[in-house]
Amino acid sequence: MDILITGGAGFIGSSLVERLSREKNNITVVDNFHTGSEDNLRKFKNSIKIIKCSSGDCEKFEKSYDILFHQGIYSSSPMYKENPLLTARCIEDFLKLLEFARRYDIKIVWASTSSLYNGHDPPHKESMQVKVTDHYTEARYAMERMAELYNKLYGLSIIALRYFSVYGPNELSKKQYANLVTQFLLAMKNNEQPVIYGDGKQTRDFTYVTDVVEANILAARANIKFGIYNVGNGKETSINDMIGIINKKLAKAIKPKYIENKVTNYVARTMADTKKAEKELGFRSKISLEEGIQNLIDFYGN
């Protein structure tokens, strides 16, 4: 297959490249390297095509792709707090991709976010109302609505996946925007205290990146014209418990440093209800947090 992956040099995108490369696909990566890294693609640089540009620069793309995985979206709420104009940029790039896909009849699978559930108690279901909370979620919600519009108006095949707290290898280029699992693991390996904003009782549905990749592939293969699906582990783990697992795996006893959390509209708890994804996509998470943390320890070395 001919596959286009925006954000393909990033954390999740490069994991998609790795998986799809095993199946002898023709892969084109588009990335502006905002949080991506050529080092994430070093194993594949001779077998894939890399286009250095933003995801909306569609005039630089070929016209014969079978599937478009859109991962190249500014992916962290603090980015939008620093620059609210990213909201418009994400939507504009997405509209350009929708027009491109409509013109050449290309199915899109793309990265939405579990942050849309801010203000709701878990388990989080796709049917929940999206509340007004921040620029980041407004961008993704607008994109979901535009996706549905293009499906209704033009019959475009498009599936949105709401990711829950994804972690795994190849996050170093994200720096301060990396998942807390990765940030805390690397700090604790160096005997540094992880810094928690709040009391550490806040929870996340930590989801290993290979599970997210599998969800993307299942969505691409599904005979579904439009859908929005949760992609999570379906389990709720506190930040304190996550640090406890890292301590156990590293044979350490490092205590976190607690700082007052002054973030407005902070997400206190997340946990995916994955029944819809299980039923319609056949997706079910396979990697537990304990196994995922061990994978990360092995990846970065003891």
Residue found by looking up tokens 């994978």 in the block: 295
Q: Please pick, among 65, 80, 136, 141, the residue that the annotation labels catalytic.
A: 136
Tokens describing residue 241: 């418990």
The Cα 193–Cα 188 span in angstroms is: 6
Give residue 156's identity as a one-letter amino acid code.
L
Residue 74 annotated as catalytic: no
Question: Taking the chain, what is the end-to-end CA distance rounded to the nearest angstrom?
Answer: 38
Residue found by looking up tokens 């996946």 in the block: 161
Measured at the alpha carbon of residue 185, what is the angle toward residues 179 and 186, in degrees to the nearest 5?
A: 95
CA distances from 129 to 25, 126, 165, 232, 256 (A): 38, 8, 20, 19, 35
CB 35 within 8 A of CB 173: yes
Q: Where are the beta strands (DSSP E) in the chain?
A: 2-6, 26-31, 49-52, 67-70, 107-113, 158-163, 166-167, 195-197, 203-204, 207-208, 226-231, 237-238, 257-259
Residues identified as active-site: 136
